[in-house]
Structure 1
Amino acid sequence: MDQVNRSPEILIFPAISVGERAATRSRQRVIMECLKKWGCNLDKIPTIMVLGSGGGTRASIACQATLTELAHQGLLDSIMYFSGVSGSTWCMSSLYAHGDWSQELEKAEAEMRSRITEGSWDLDVALEKAKWAAGLERYSLTDFWAYFVVYEQTKMLQDDPLTSIKEQSEKGLVPYPIFSAVDRHYLQQWKRKLAPDAWFEFTVHTAGFPAHGAYVTTNHFGCRFKARELESKKPERELSYLRGLCGSALGDFQTIMDIISDAIKNLLVSRRVQDKVFRVMSEGHHCEKILLDLLSLEIAYLGGKDCLLLLNGLRDSLNVSLTFKEAYKSAEVTIQEWDRMSLEDKKRLLSQLVEKIFELPLVETSYEASFFSFLRKTLRCLLNWDWGSTNNFLYKLDDINAPEVTERKVLHLVDAGLALNSAYPLALHPARHVDLILSFDFSSGDPFETIKVASDYCQANGIPFPPVNKAELDRDAKEPSDCYVFQGGEREQAPIVMHFPLFNRNNCGGGAEADIEQWHKRYPTFRISGYSKDDFDKLVHVAKMNVRHQAATIVEKIKELGRCASHV
């Protein structure tokens, strides 16, 4: 069925966009030439998709190495789609910015090596970006994460938007990119991690919910719509923001909270903020202490810890200065009511306290009003754990029967790894007809979690998927092999899935459990910085080994799908 196009920006269709169809047709010509070299019967051109999992900088480096080796083995030109989650999206965004990156992977790998091991990030630049974002309609922790965490990890900012990388995809020069996220509302309200409704995708043409067949043109993502009417046009956000949105789950809740807390503390004590903010204020020292006390209070509240001692300390700090007399009164009320209040009431009073601290006397008399405006919004978002806020392009839309989406003015999109750490739901969209999934798992913990959750997801939603013997995988979890092939079974329409655990008994020294564990310890997901050249090179080496050792098997499976000539 063709897409309904009564509005030029909102698109309702059950399949894939016109732009994606055209781009994949162009890509088929490249794939055909690749298969010809292998002597394949071209009656059927198999659709192959590469999936890269999350895993922070580890995933980004390993993803780059995997693609470099796929190209070296002559396999890259057989790939139709490339999709990533979290850290793999950092690699994706940097690659696609290179234009026809399929011809420059060695160069891209060398650039990444230099950037991550020798590069630096600029706190001043990050702060200016964050202050600019704080002036937008929908600022959230995603903005803070993009500029103060992802930028620090990747040593890279990308100011161009996603639509700027369309040309190479439309010409079929590179695999068609699909960035992944999930709607936090589904995960929180219904605990529906296995529901297709939660998944959100970004392509160079459209952004939206595949399960609802509801999209907006990518350059209009973030604009304000109501019942299809464009109420307010917003500029398309840059790739740096998209990397923050797609890559914001570096660990559990406590880890993420600690990273944000440390980033704010480092900002407050930085030379830039000290020189331009606190040292030019008559009560700069008191202000700095109050802000640090407020941050500690919020972190304690979010962590479910006792807050009264911290509240008393903050009140005492506020009492030192007349500037904060109204905030002092607010703190007094909060302390008196604290033990009698519900969690929601506590959050409400803490929100009021934040606003009192950042009232006009502080903001308007400071040398850097925009700094305090940014910090106020950040602390407000932290208290409400507000991530990925964007205008809902489906608000009040009656074309789809999904009131849980259409009645919300704001969407909250977060890292897809919170649902499934590999983008199987996007790969398994029936209109994409994916025949072979090359799933490269760069995650920590259970190396088979993604394949097991994908199997559960498909079973829950009636989607064809090959049989997965979880008991056998559990036995291999501590010492996995470098590749597992899943195919066949009762559902003949299921794709073949090849699953590649990053660290395994074939590429990690002697392959013993202790050796593999050492690799995981050397490359933790939440490692923000500090990669040496040796760290980088060894990680690249093991990632490439997985492709090199299994290249013949990949070709064999592609030939099976392509009904290749038996004499080859």
Structure 2
Amino acid sequence: MSFLKNLTGTSSDTIPAGDPLVRVSTDIADGERKSILERKKVAAKWAQSQGINIKPENVPTIAVLESGGGLTATLGCLATLLELKKQNLLDLVTYIHTCSGSTWCLSLLNDSGNWVEELETLKDKIIDKLANLSWGVDQSLLKLLEAANRENYSLTDLWAYTFVASALKGVSDSRVSSWSRVHETGAVPYTVCTAVNKPAVERSNYTNPGIYFEYTAHACGYINSVSIPTEYMDSKFENGILVKKEPEPSVGYNVGLWGSAIGSAKEVIELVTDIMVRNLMNPKANVVVPLLDTVSGLTGFLLGADLSRLTSLISDLKNSLAGGKGDEKGILDQMLSTMSGKKDSTSYQHINLMKDNWDTSSVQGKENLVTILGAVMAVESNASTKDLFIVPHAANLLLKTVACLVKWEWGTTNNIMKGLGGSFSREDTEASKMYLVDSGLGMNVPFPEALRPERMPEVILSCDFFPLDPMQGPRRAAEYAIANNIPFPPVNIPSDEEMNPSKGCYAFKGPNGPTILHFPLFNKENSGDLYKVLLVQYIVSRTHYTKGEMEALMEYASLNIRNHAPEIRDMFIESLNKHKEP
């Protein structure tokens, strides 16, 4: 049975008797329902100011969808929300659905409380913070050393506390559940952040609703299926019963999970290994791990293998890299042969990883892989702490990180579905862990969460900040809707507009489903002949922009909203008029 095959729009499955924390239902959480009603009271007041009498419970749902795209998406998201406020349109927005880089923006805003009230001031503070270059490896290491003690440590921890922390110039220790305080007042639109289940994506595709896992202030879970209260995220459950309460992951960790896809596995491996070398070989942090061949007086055996032989092979590999010639993969094969008696060791597994990725790695990437191998071998050889100059929990961090790199393990968390019966498949309920990653691997604009029947909006503003495929969002959303029998307007995009949009806003409207207004970040309307230059300048792998670059980027995103504000307003008014009092 495919992942969450029971997604039929019914809630016939019931949870086992006992602790009711695991909820098997298609409905949204009570806290979300309360928050939305309070938010619609704000919209009803706005409608009244325009001469439209409407009861809060009759206010139509209007959603803003903010795409992924790294730091570019963070800034683009901030700009669109600020421009909607300047155009006196933000009060009508019920939901903000986010994924990947745009979750970084909403995490900064929601941690600030009533951010709508202070959006202009917050924008200045955020830009100043992101322009700051003070975040360093020392701060990352402290967080990483703590994280390595967790049972569910994965590459997501490394990513969150290095790459994303570097982009956001800090780490938030708050919790997503704490956002409920401001959401339940209705002062801000309700935030939904999205991830996907990595194994499910690999055996399915973006049209399967069962791959999508969402986070709100009140609940976390698979859309239209299984959820738990957000404060219990990463706790252990069995048969729907709470077995062990674990601390809710921090927002700092979650932004790493939500924003963990920046390109191909090759690119990520290069970045991850570079991060490891810069952090774990850091003399300032007093946790430096040397290469095996730099440890003085080391003799004996490494997990049954001759250390002098391994030391010699590492030197051969380094010399070959320095000289740009030699049978480097042959040397790796000799290492594997030398350690053939301990194939379960971290060192052996890392050599296999090196061999698999050697041909596609850059010279620097290869050097980093060798550095990491030497460090792992030094730790596994039980060299003296005097020689290693490393504290035990730093060694733990090194070995855990390499093990996760070898297994390519991201987003490890306890499985909320463990032990559930009913119509769920065994592969989904027998596993003790879930592996959650960036929803950009599914759909980079969070349509699936917005299109839940309980949330179905009448108007969607779709803001796309991934300029390499600016029309992917509505195109994939239409395919998703067809596959799942969800009303949706026709999405007809001229072929010459697919990769080179001429307009800042594309409208998709039909007899059924929501009206979609789609805003590609860069287009000929807002950037003219600079369009292709901007694609290169604002690539998603960058973790720092100058203040000038940030302000310029935000202006492009703002222009899309500003230039089409009358069109947006007309759509909002039209929707309100359908539900006004007679």
> Where on the TM-score scale, by shorter chain, does this alignment land: which range?
0.7 to 0.9
The correspondence for 2:211, drawn from 188, 191, 198, is 198
More moved, 278-287 vs 6-15: 278-287
- Distance, in Å, in 1 between the alignment partners of 2:400 and 2:448 is 34
- Equivalent in the alignment of 1:503: 522
Give matches, 1:407-486, under 5 Å. Answer: 407-470=430-493, 472=494, 474-486=496-508
5+ residue gaps, structure 1, are 301-305, 320-324, 340-349
Do residues 73 (structure 1) and 87 (structure 2) align? yes
User: What residue number does 1:146 align with?
Assistant: 160
**1:467–1:487 Cα contact (<8 Å) kept:** yes
Any conservation in 2 of the 1:448–1:473 contact (CA below 8 Å)?
A: no
* Match among 201, 204, 227 for residue 239 of structure 2: 227
Alignment CA distance shift 1:551-1:360 (3 Å): same
CA distance in 1, matches of 2:520, 2:74: 15
Listed as ranges, the matches of 1:528-539 within 5 Å are 528-529=543-544, 531-539=545-553
Matches within 5 A, 1:344-359: 358-359=379-380
Aligned twin of 1:159: 173
Alpha-carbon offset, residue 118 of structure 1: 2.3
Q: Structure 1 residues 267 and 363 mapped into 2: Cα distance closer, same or farther (>3 Å)?
A: farther
Post-superposition shift, 1:214? 0.7
**How far is 1:226 from its partner?**
1.1
Q: CA deviation at 1:402?
A: 3.5
Equivalent in the alignment of 1:347: none
Secondary structure (helix, strand or coil) at the match of 2:214 reads: strand
Q: Is the 8 A contact 2:217 2:230 kept in 1?
A: yes
d(CA) in 1 for partners of 2:119, 2:288: 44
CA shift for structure 1 position 475 = 3.5
Q: Which amino acid aligns with 1:98?
A: S
The equivalent position to 1:236 in structure 2, one of 220, 244, 248, is 248
Corresponding letter in the other structure for 1:72 = K
**Match in the other structure for 1:126:** 140
C-alpha change, 1:562 and 1:334, in structure 2 (3 Å) is closer
Q: Could you tell me how far apart the structure 2 residues matched to 1:385 and 1:197 are? A: 22
What amino acid sits opposite 2:469 in the alignment? D
- Residue 359 of structure 2 corresponds to none
Alignment partner, residue 30 of structure 1: 42
Q: Distance in 2 between matches of 1:548 and 1:166?
A: 31
Kindly state the Cα deviation for residue 315 of structure 1 after the two structures are TM-superposed: 7.8
Could you say what the CA RMSD is over the residues aligned between the two structures, in angstroms? 3.6
- 1:135 pairs with one of 110, 132, 149: 149
Give the Å deviation of 1:516.
0.4
Shift of 1:393: 1.4
Structure 1 residue 151, shift from structure 2 partner: 0.2
CA shift for structure 1 position 563: 1.3
Task: Give the one of 421, 424, 437 matched to 1:401.
Answer: 424
C-alpha spacing 1:192/1:328, structure 2 compared with 1 (3 Å)? closer
**In 2, distance between residues paired with 1:220 and 1:120?**
34
Show CA shifts across 1:460-481 (max 9, x none).
11111110114x1543531331
Alignment partners' CA distance in 1, 2:432 and 2:446: 26
Among candidates 223, 230, 236, match of residue 210 of structure 1: 223
Cα pair 1:327 1:356 within 8 Å, conserved: no
Structural mapping, 1:187-336, within 5 Å:
187-188=201-202, 190-211=203-224, 213-273=225-285, 275-278=286-289, 284=295, 308-309=329-330, 311=332
Partners of 1:334 and 1:67 lie apart in 2 by 45
The one-letter code matched in structure 2 to 1:486 is F
Task: Identify if the C-alpha distance between structure 1 residues 65 and 286 changes in structure 2 by more than 3 Å, giving closer, same or farther.
Answer: farther
Corresponding residue number in structure 2 for 1:559: 573
Q: Is the 8 A contact 2:43 2:91 kept in 1?
A: yes
Query: TM-score, normalized by length of structure 2?
Result: 0.83
Structure (1 or 2) with the greater helix fraction: 1
Cα–Cα, structure 1 residues 206 and 261, in superposed 2: closer, same or farther, change >3 Å? same
Larger displacement relative to structure 2 (359-368 or 236-245): 359-368
Which residue of 2 is the match for residue 343 of structure 1? none
Query: Which residues of 2 match residues 5-84 of structure 1 at below 5 A?
Result: 7-42=19-54, 44-84=58-98
Q: Deviations over 1:424-480 (max 9, x none)?
A: 00000001131111110001312101111111111111111110114x154353133
Deviations 1:324-366, CA, capped at 9 Å, x for gaps: x989999899999x99xxxxxxxxxx99999876437248775
CA contact (8 A) 1:11 1:214 kept: yes
For each residue in 1:97-149, what CA deviation from the matched residue of structure 2 results, as whole angstroms up to 9, or x when unmatched?
01000011111110111111124212112111111111111011001000010
Partner of 1:192, secondary structure, is: coil
Task: Show the counterpart of 2:117.
Answer: 103
Q: Give the letter for the 1:146 counterpart.
A: A
> Where does residue 358 of structure 2 map in the other structure?
none
Q: Does structure 2 conserve the Cα–Cα contact (< 8 Å) formed by 1:184 and 1:414?
A: yes
Distance 1:220 1:565, change over 3 A: closer
Q: Counterpart of 2:540?
A: 525
Is residue 550 from structure 1 mapped to residue 554 from structure 2 by the alignment?
no
Aligned length: 527
| Residues 327 and 357 in structure 1, CA contact (< 8 A), matched pair in contact too | no
Whole-Å separation in 2 of the counterparts to 1:225 and 1:120: 41
Q: Give the C-alpha shift of residue 279 in structure 1.
A: 7.9
Aligned partner letter, 1:9: L
Please report how far the alpha carbon of residue 537 of structure 1 lies from its aligned counterpart in structure 2 after TM superposition.
1.1
SS of 2:563's equivalent in the other structure is helix
Contact conserved, 2:280 with 2:398, CA < 8 A, in 1?
A: no
Distance 1:266 1:488, change over 3 A: same
Cα contact 2:489–2:508 (8 A) shared by 1:
yes
Q: Could you tell me how far apart the structure 2 residues matched to 1:22 and 1:334 are?
A: 50
Amino acid at match of 1:498: L
How much has 1:262 moved relative to structure 2? 1.4
Task: Give the Cα separation in 2 of the matches to 1:392 and 1:89.
Answer: 23
Q: Contact between 2:95 and 2:190, CA under 8 Å: does it hold in 1?
A: yes
State the AA in 2 paired with 1:431: E
CA gap 1:326/1:449 in 2 versus in 1, 3 angstroms: closer
Match of 1:85 in 2: 99
2:161 is paired with a residue whose SS is helix
State the 1:400 CA deviation. 4.9
Secondary structure at the residue paired with 1:430? coil
Secondary structure of the residue aligned to 1:67 is helix
Quote the Cα distance in structure 1 between the aligned partners of 2:26 and 2:344: 56
**Structure 2 CA distance for partners of 1:334 and 1:159, relative to 1, 3 Å:** closer
Displacement, 1:404?
A: 3.3
Q: What SS does the aligned partner of 2:382 have?
A: helix
Give the aligned residue type for 2:535. Answer: H
For the 8 Å contact 2:282–2:288, the answer to whether it is kept is no
Deviation at 1:313, TM superposition (A): 8.2
> Structure 1 residues 409 and 435 mapped into 2: Cα distance closer, same or farther (>3 Å)?
same
